[in-house]
Amino acid sequence: MSKLKYAMVGGGQGAFIGGVHRKAIALDGQIELVAGALSSSAEKARASGRELGLADERNHASWEALLADELQRPASERIDFVSIVTPNHVHFPVARAFAEAGIHVVCDKPLVHTSEQAADLGRVVAKSGVVFGVTYNYTGYPMVREARDLVRKGAIGQVRKVIVEYNQGWLATRLEGGDNKQADWRTDPARSGMAGAIGDIGSHAENLALTVTGLEIESLCADLTSFVPGRKLDDDGNMLLRFTNGARGVLIASQIEVGCENDFRLRVFGSTGTLDWRQEDPNYLVHAPIDGPKRILTRGSPWLGESAKLATRLPTGHPEAFIEAFANVYLGVAAHIRALQAGSKPDPLAADYPTLADGARGVRFIEKTVESAASSHKWTSLQ
Amino acid sequence: MSKLKYAMVGGGQGAFIGGVHRKAIALDGQIELVAGALSSSAEKARASGRELGLADERNHASWEALLADELQRPASERIDFVSIVTPNHVHFPVARAFAEAGIHVVCDKPLVHTSEQAADLGRVVAKSGVVFGVTYNYTGYPMVREARDLVRKGAIGQVRKVIVEYNQGWLATRLEGGDNKQADWRTDPARSGMAGAIGDIGSHAENLALTVTGLEIESLCADLTSFVPGRKLDDDGNMLLRFTNGARGVLIASQIEVGCENDFRLRVFGSTGTLDWRQEDPNYLVHAPIDGPKRILTRGSPWLGESAKLATRLPTGHPEAFIEAFANVYLGVAAHIRALQAGSKPDPLAADYPTLADGARGVRFIEKTVESAASSHKWTSLQ
Amino acid sequence: MSKLKYAMVGGGQGAFIGGVHRKAIALDGQIELVAGALSSSAEKARASGRELGLADERNHASWEALLADELQRPASERIDFVSIVTPNHVHFPVARAFAEAGIHVVCDKPLVHTSEQAADLGRVVAKSGVVFGVTYNYTGYPMVREARDLVRKGAIGQVRKVIVEYNQGWLATRLEGGDNKQADWRTDPARSGMAGAIGDIGSHAENLALTVTGLEIESLCADLTSFVPGRKLDDDGNMLLRFTNGARGVLIASQIEVGCENDFRLRVFGSTGTLDWRQEDPNYLVHAPIDGPKRILTRGSPWLGESAKLATRLPTGHPEAFIEAFANVYLGVAAHIRALQAGSKPDPLAADYPTLADGARGVRFIEKTVESAASSHKWTSLQ
Amino acid sequence: MSKLKYAMVGGGQGAFIGGVHRKAIALDGQIELVAGALSSSAEKARASGRELGLADERNHASWEALLADELQRPASERIDFVSIVTPNHVHFPVARAFAEAGIHVVCDKPLVHTSEQAADLGRVVAKSGVVFGVTYNYTGYPMVREARDLVRKGAIGQVRKVIVEYNQGWLATRLEGGDNKQADWRTDPARSGMAGAIGDIGSHAENLALTVTGLEIESLCADLTSFVPGRKLDDDGNMLLRFTNGARGVLIASQIEVGCENDFRLRVFGSTGTLDWRQEDPNYLVHAPIDGPKRILTRGSPWLGESAKLATRLPTGHPEAFIEAFANVYLGVAAHIRALQAGSKPDPLAADYPTLADGARGVRFIEKTVESAASSHKWTSLQ
């Protein structure tokens, strides 16, 4: 199997998530970095690319230069996809331009700043037919896929209630305005978008809950707060959810809960069973059937479904973690791209990744959350 | 130290919680059962009393008979207090009558059905000057008391957020209308009151959160659901909270979460630290300071405060549990009664128990929750 | 059901375990303390008895006086059994005298100092026919009884291996010779016997392992150490075990493992499954079948066996703990005594408690451990 | 930083651990696979190399051909090191030949079959001066490095006791002789060596314990068993340890403990504190100081030492796992190689990996364990 080639936009020196994407992509030896425009600063972009061993002619000072250069290369040299790992406000122009040019795209989340942008992007992608993945990376965990399978198979009956919480504490004090580049842009409306914690991690919570349950949110009632003085965006959000099937939910996303590291947990309560998964202990999924004791499902076990098995690299007890989950999203995109290149129908089990539709739904979720919180906290419809 | 004497109203054959009260009271050998009216059925009352070894002349067919008999006995024989463990709708008349007669009262929660009843009871108790305890038993856990102490001492700074959840699953299917006496009265508005899960366990959540944090709820926005067909009261409740100091909160109380046994958890997030306590693992309290690793505080440790120490019977690692916590509430009431009898001022450390004010606040919480849920789920003020 | 009456020997002011026995006995309201000789110091004995509300004429300065007084009382007043909770060296004379006098006995562990004493006691008890319980209290936990049941029912196939560990840290520094009465006598060969940690907690480990598995130790190879300078008895013991059925084992008992509170854990590995129980989290038992995921069995669940159910007071999720387990041992003895008094055959399910044979086996285990450790650590036969 | 180049010997189709090595090496983008002799079967070797994208001229049918080819290449093309991931019996000849030829080596464990081979290899390596790493991969975990640091810094005082256990269950039934290639060679003395569970995982336990504590084993007393009928090597081993500083220990290594996945745990008890680490939950290290509550140290925290920090890629709460630990061993070797290539002194913090000396000590440990178990289980000296 020949390697796919990709370029990265963003993720230069001092960035955090770009390096994670690169490690995840490198892990399985199926995809290689060949080009980049790694920073909005031309100088930093070049330096970052050199550090990563990019050839000079494919190490660009801007994403526009990268795109132009790719388009003039022969197909055999050209990248198979671009990975966009910039701050949020840059997602839209880059994704739109590459998609329009017919280059497959992987874009970080939240996808864009507004539903209008998402709709526009949707039209462009529909027209060009490119593969478009959004790195809701947590859905790449094998036990998340097992949870999704169990819900689909009816293992917990009808879903009645969802509690999804994403607890962090790193922004409990004022970090912005100092050396912390992450804190800086994530609390800046111009770069982060209209929401803070809700945009950054609440959107992960929304996507995980909907991906696993297959439900849609009918309406929500949100309370957003900025606890740290001077902060411009919410650093704490809590909301009640109603799903279209009548199920109820609670979603919590906070970055001021001291001592919480990346405590992302999903509980799905059905009429005949419950599922409980925690990101900080991701190799396990607790399944409580109504008529027997709790069962601890572990990644790598023979009694798991095909989807979890396919997403697994190591035997039980040899823990896999964050990077492998991230890598699974890229493998899903890669499987889709390879199928298109081979002219075959993608295997849905392999081409398993969050799509543009997930991304657009997430943008709408953020908008409606902010709307509910601003409007005397009324229940706000998403349908 | 001579033993205190008590009578029990309710808690006869087939009841659950009465036996727990009796074991808790018996545990420390300081209080003894001498009289009772153990059921609303005269026959069952008598049979239950005989089973417990009550003397015939103190084994009554009704609480009215019990009260009359006690009042004609000499002080040396008379009960020191009555313990009321009946279904909710009986609390008010019994508590009112004994309090009016000058007999100290311990009453189960929720206290009464309406704020009007609570106010009336408050006037009676104020006039007679009796001790009045309400068995919010979870506040009797040593590590809950430690949490309360740590908040008071400023160990976590200013409280910003509270997540309190009380997850049960025993009512996930229709149990009422069958053999399950518990399920029967708890889902019956006439006996249980205007709320189901919120009344039974939501009120515990409210009391625990307010006891530990010392905060008051400013307003709430609730969503109540009855998932099981035909059920007359809520079996699932979720709400957003705002506290008078500006803190935010989430309260979850459910009895349809399959696999959840008695999963009652309180998290309090402050500006400089976090506390996390779980009722199913009650001997531990996790304290996350903002500037160091999480600390696992264990009951019985020398570095705990006086309140937790006083509530502790066994060394660390020798687990204490539900019954000991219950017993601590009774020991608190007993300390108050003994102080009154001795004409001394009660030691607040010893006379530590939930009071009539806690009970009345809990009734108002239930009323406002139901009001919010019924009124298109608006934010509803409690102040 | 009329209450049984008992006297206590030992357990006066400043003692630890006597108070635990009393609380455990009081819990269920079926047994009452009527007499005592609570200390070897006459003055302290009297003061302790007064504190507990003993009538003066049944509050004795010595166990000899207690015994003499009981024997001259009419049967209707006389104690049903004596509970011996003294330091170890006093067990033998007291137990022997009461048993010889035909009074049922509950004695703390380790039973006596030597196998000769145990054999002598065995002859006395056989002759008098008294009920004789030994408070290996950990076997009273419901989930320990469930584990024993599961092994008996073949749920884990043939037992191949046992790992039993009892980790404590309270003697990691020199506490003896100061105010700590517990530390004082437990590290004194004259009062504690030939072993320290092995006698105090290793004997619990041995009994738990053999009770649950039904196996017998064929031989052992032990290493005993006194880490704290000046300590006269072992404070750390580790040994390899071979069982008569060919199973292997590891037993660890230590009191110098800093941070360990009462970390007593038993793992039993069979050919088709594994059981794992921890005393510090006693309401759960993990069962790993060879052909499916781990199952978390919880006390109070409907799918448990009769023995665990009978030992349970509260619903699942309402934790029971140390005192309830202790109480179960007393209830087992009481059931046996009541059956004898009623002239009926004891129900083995109810009359479930560690016997004199358990106690004698434990003494032999201690002797052989010390012998192995002293003899260049050779494998030493117990058969 | 230019990439290092390596060749792999072993790890072809159907093998397990070779693929793990490759993913670990690929993760950080610093080292690339350029050549290989991936199987002892010429045909499978070629097919495996093609699958991995090796150029035909560097895809060899045997390790001898690989070595010959490398030696005739110019330095600029030549591999920087070889990674040996064959079954155990092949380690010695390959490692010896490459080391003798002046090529750096990374070899899987256990290093070789006998101490004679280890000594011979030691002489060769000393003469050629190559870097030689042994993939005791568990020492690459950041929290293992933190534990080692804490011991060195005196955070737990003098080490008194070590409990190290490596519990697996995958060989609880007879898997050898069927399709399971892993089971096949690991239970075959000709390929695995003189020990089974002790060689495969007991050697990891030994290395982890000695690496973290800095202690050496003075003597041991072992019991080895083959529980599964027909199995030629031990599938369960338990032993008592004595260290040269007087500390005591217990080492457990088993592959028949049903339900145990890769339950590798190390506890180190010192005079003033305890450390507890579990491989299945590797991002945490529990530190129990004698004078305060347990502290949960988490990977990525600012209060960790330099060694743990250097081994960390992601923030706290974003779990790292098995592959990252493996990668850390390779990064340590790479740092050493780069320093040699640059003519500089290796930074010990960076060039942190298990060496030939660790490997040789591990071989001796296996030999002495087998000797002790065979000799009526006597204590056997390692010094």
Per-position DSSP letters for B249-284, written without gaps between them = EEEEEES--TT-SSEEEEEEEESSEEEEEETTSTTE
- Looking up tokens 């229940």, which residue turns up? A379
Q: How far apart are CA C98 and CA C78, in angstroms?
A: 13
Question: Is the Cβ pair B292, D303 closer than 8 Å?
Answer: yes
Nearest to A252 by CA among B331, B251, B73: B251
Question: How many Cβ contacts (< 8 angstroms) between chains C and D?
Answer: 124
Residue A377 banded pLDDT, cuts 50, 70, 90: low
What is the bridge-based pairing of β-strands D31-37 and D4-9? Answer: parallel
Helices (H), C173-305: 181-186, 189-192, 197, 203-213
Question: Is the Cβ pair D295, B295 closer than 8 Å?
Answer: yes
Is residue C272 exposed (0-12), middle (13-18) or buried (19+ Cβ within 10 Å)?
middle
Name D278's bridge partners: D265
**HSE of A270 in the Cβ direction (CA atoms, 13 Å)?**
26
Give the pLDDT mean for C206-220.
97
Q: How far apart are CA A233 and CA A94, in angstroms?
A: 25
Give the pLDDT mean for C2-27.
94
Question: Is the Cβ pair C313, B2 closer than 8 Å?
Answer: no
Q: How far apart are CA B219 and CA B383, in angstroms?
A: 7
DSSP letter at D198 equals I
Q: How far apart are CA B327 and CA A331, in angstroms?
A: 58
Q: Which residue of D has its CA nearest to B295?
A: D295
Structural domains of chain B, ranges and CATH numbers in brackets: 4-135 (3.40.50.720), 143-314+361-381 (3.30.360.10)
Question: Which of B156, B160, B286 best probes binding to A when mutated, by most A CB atoms within 10 angstroms?
Answer: B160
State the pLDDT at residue C377: 57
Q: Using alpha carbons only, how large is chain B's radius of gyration in Å? A: 20
Q: Which chains pack against C, by 3+ Cβ pairs within 8 A?
A: A, B, D
Question: Is the Cβ pair D261, A298 closer than 8 Å?
Answer: yes
DSSP letter at A202 equals I
Among residues 264-323 of chain D, which lie with CB inside 8 Å of chain B?
287, 292-298, 301, 303
Other C-beta atoms lying within 10 Å of the C-beta of residue B383: 7
pLDDT single digits (tens) A19-63:
999 999 999 999 999 999 999 999 999 999 999 999 999 999 999
- Give chain C positions within 8 Å (CB) of A293: 287, 295-298, 301, 303
CA distances from B188 to B13, B48, B89, B117, B345 (A): 20, 24, 10, 19, 42
- Give chain D positions within 8 Å (CB) of A262: 315-318
- Give chain D positions within 8 Å (CB) of C249: 238
Question: Is the Cβ pair A294, C295 closer than 8 Å?
Answer: yes
Measured in angstroms, the CA of B167 and the nearest CA of chain A are apart by 11
Q: How far apart are CA D39 and CA A351, in angstroms?
A: 31
Residue C375 banded pLDDT, cuts 50, 70, 90: confident
Give the pLDDT mean for C162-177.
96
Question: Is the Cβ pair D2, A324 closer than 8 Å?
Answer: no
The DSSP-derived string for C111-137 is --SSHHHHHHHHHHHHHHT--EEE--G
Do residues A162 and A266 make contact, with C-beta atoms less than 8 angstroms apart? yes
Question: Which of B27, B48, B186 best probes binding to C when mutated, by most C CB atoms within 10 angstroms?
Answer: B27
Other C-beta atoms lying within 10 Å of the C-beta of residue C47: 16
- Give chain D positions within 8 Å (CB) of B293: 287, 295-298, 301, 303
Measured in angstroms, the CA of D305 and the nearest CA of chain C are apart by 22
ipTM above 0.90, yes or no: yes
Question: Is the Cβ pair D259, C169 closer than 8 Å?
Answer: no
> Omega of the bond prior to A110 within 30 degrees of 0, cis?
yes
Asked if the model's pLDDT at residue C73 lies above 90, the reply is: yes
Other C-beta atoms lying within 10 Å of the C-beta of residue D230: 9
List the end-to-end C-alpha distance of chain B, in Å, as a whole number. Answer: 44
**Six token digits for residue C50:** 């007064």
Measured in angstroms, the CA of B351 and the nearest CA of chain D are apart by 28
- Give chain D positions within 8 Å (CB) of A298: 261
Other C-beta atoms lying within 10 Å of the C-beta of residue B184: 16
Name B33's bridge partners: B6
Do residues A323 and A27 make contact, with C-beta atoms less than 8 angstroms apart? yes
pLDDT single digits (tens) D219-242:
999 999 999 999 999 999 999 999
State the pLDDT at residue D281: 98
User: Hey, is the C-beta of B218 within 8 angstroms of any chain A C-beta?
Assistant: no
Question: Is the Cβ pair C314, B298 closer than 8 Å?
Answer: no
Helices (H), C134-289: 142-152, 181-186, 189-192, 197, 203-213
DSSP letter at C374 equals H
Question: Which of A151, A164, A257 best probes binding to B when mutated, by most B CB atoms within 10 angstroms?
Answer: A257
Question: Is the Cβ pair A296, C296 closer than 8 Å?
Answer: yes
Question: Is the Cβ pair D248, C236 closer than 8 Å?
Answer: yes
Q: How far apart are CA A140 and CA A324, in angstroms?
A: 8
In chain A, the percentage of residues whose pLDDT exceeds 90 is 91
Residue A182 banded pLDDT, cuts 50, 70, 90: confident
Question: Is the Cβ pair A280, D319 closer than 8 Å?
Answer: yes
Asked if the model's pLDDT at residue C144 lies above 80, the reply is: yes
Measured in angstroms, the CA of B183 and the nearest CA of chain A are apart by 17
Q: Which residue of D has its CA nearest to A326?
A: D318
Low-confidence ranges of chain D (pLDDT < 50): none
Asked if the model's pLDDT at residue A378 lies above 80, the reply is: no
pLDDT single digits (tens) C243-261:
999 999 999 999 999 999 9
pLDDT single digits (tens) A136-176:
999 999 999 999 999 999 999 999 999 999 999 999 999 98
Question: Which of B296, B304, B316 best probes binding to D when mutated, by most D CB atoms within 10 angstroms?
Answer: B296
Question: Which of C255, C258, C277 best probes binding to D when mutated, by most D CB atoms within 10 angstroms?
Answer: C258
φ, ψ for residue D289 (rounded to 5)? -80, 155
Asked if the model's pLDDT at residue C323 lies above 90, the reply is: yes
Give the pLDDT mean for A125-129.
98
- Give chain B positions within 8 Å (CB) of C26: 26-29
- When CB atoms are compared, the residue of C163, C258, C378 closest to D272 is C258
Do residues D21 and D8 make contact, with C-beta atoms less than 8 angstroms apart? yes
Contacts (Cβ under 8 Å, ≥6 apart) of B19: B11, C313
Q: Which residue of A has its CA nearest to D313?
A: A20
Contacts (Cβ under 8 Å, ≥6 apart) of C164: C205, C206, C208, C209, C249, C250, C251, C252, C265, C266, C267
Other C-beta atoms lying within 10 Å of the C-beta of residue C315: 17
**HSE of C372 in the Cβ direction (CA atoms, 13 Å)?**
27
pLDDT single digits (tens) D320-371:
999 999 999 999 999 999 999 999 999 999 999 999 999 999 999 999 999 9
- Give chain A positions within 8 Å (CB) of D19: 313
Residue C38, amino acid: L
Is residue C348 exposed (0-12), middle (13-18) or buried (19+ Cβ within 10 Å)?
exposed
φ, ψ for residue C339 (rounded to 5)? -65, -45
Q: How far apart are CA D109 and CA D200, in angstroms?
A: 8
Region for B153 from its dihedrals, namely left if φ exceeds 0, alpha if ψ lies in -120 to 50, beta otherwise = alpha
- Give chain D positions within 8 Å (CB) of C223: 221, 240, 242, 248
State the pLDDT at residue D35: 98
CA distances from C262 to C23, C166, C282, D305 (A): 19, 7, 12, 31
- Give chain D positions within 8 Å (CB) of C156: 258
Low-confidence ranges of chain B (pLDDT < 70): 1, 377
**Six token digits for residue B90:** 């009986």
Question: Is the Cβ pair B290, A256 closer than 8 Å?
Answer: no
φ, ψ for residue D380 (rounded to 5)? -125, 130
Residue D208, amino acid: L
- Give chain D positions within 8 Å (CB) of A27: 23, 26-27, 323
State the pLDDT at residue C167: 98
